[in-house]
Amino acid sequence: MATTDIRITGFGGQGVILCGYIIGKAVSIYNDQHATLTQSFGPEARGSACSAQVVVSDSRVLYPYVTAPKVLLAMSHDGYMTHKDKVAEDCVYVYEKDLVRLQEHGPKTTAYGIPATRIAEDLGRKIVLNIVMLGFFAAVTDVVPHEALRQAVESSVPSGTEELNLKAFDKGYEYGVGLKEKAELKV
């Protein structure tokens, strides 16, 4: 039985909860697995701390809360600082490298950074940075298959924005594939 705990963190307005929702939808609807989503956010709507926790499993999820995530997807420095020490010892950090100043971690951790905000701005809409992050997440982790996540993005975003969001997803995925290929060449 494979179970993976994921924490997505950032601030309100970045689409943190939508990221968690899309991951859960991708595995439960498009990949025949199970998922739970819990969320927390400050009393303010935008700009306050926000996080989503997703448990992905091959069997029924019996405990929906994440305590030591295997993946920490960080879109803000404050979110990263809040959760960086509450992760599994072999955690994979997936982070927005222009907004998060990564600190040193244990020897079993891995970190992948992407300038998701810049990529989103290049696409014309900064608001799709979360979808860029999802494409990147699909490329650098083996948690959710690329096609399942892409289908979940397409079926979850507001009507009329599908093309832009899929383009954002693909840009993040391409960046992640390129980064992993470079890392494998160094080994």
Question: At which residue do the structure tokens 């696409």 appear?
Answer: 123
Torsion angle, alpha carbons of 159, 145, 134, 180, to 10: -140
| pLDDT recorded at residue 187 | 47
Average pLDDT over the chain, rounded to whole?
A: 92
| pLDDT recorded at residue 47 | 64
Which amino acid belongs to residue 25?
K
The domain locations on the chain are 3-186
Return the beta strands (E) in the chain as ranges. 3-11, 34-41, 49-57, 71-74, 92-96, 110-114
Is it the case that residue 186 has pLDDT exceeding 80?
Answer: no
Q: Which CATH superfamily is domain 3-186 in?
A: Pyruvate-ferredoxin oxidoreductase, PFOR, domain III (3.40.920.10)
- Kindly report which listed range (68-77, 105-114, 177-186) carries the lowest average pLDDT score: 177-186
DSSP secondary structure letter of residue 48:
S
DSSP secondary structure letter of residue 61:
-
Tens of pLDDT along 97-111?
A: 999 999 988 889 999
CA atoms of 134 and 19, how far apart (whole Å): 7
How far CA 3 is from CA of 58, 72, 144, in Å, comes to 7, 15, 12
| pLDDT recorded at residue 142 | 86
Q: 124: helix, coil or strand?
A: coil
How far CA 40 is from CA of 17, 44, 79, 103, 128, in Å, comes to 9, 12, 12, 24, 21
Is it the case that residue 45 has pLDDT exceeding 60?
Answer: no
For residue 48, the tally of other CB atoms under 10 A from its CB is 13
Q: In the predicted model, what is the mean pLDDT of residues 7-26?
A: 94
Tens of pLDDT along 73-122?
A: 999 999 999 999 999 999 999 999 999 999 988 889 999 999 999 999 99
C-beta separation of 117 from 134 below 8 A: no
- Kindly report which listed range (41-45, 89-93, 136-140, 143-147) carries the lowest average pLDDT score: 41-45
CA atoms of 158 and 149, how far apart (whole Å): 16
Q: In the predicted model, what is the mean pLDDT of residues 53-59?
A: 96
| pLDDT recorded at residue 43 | 59
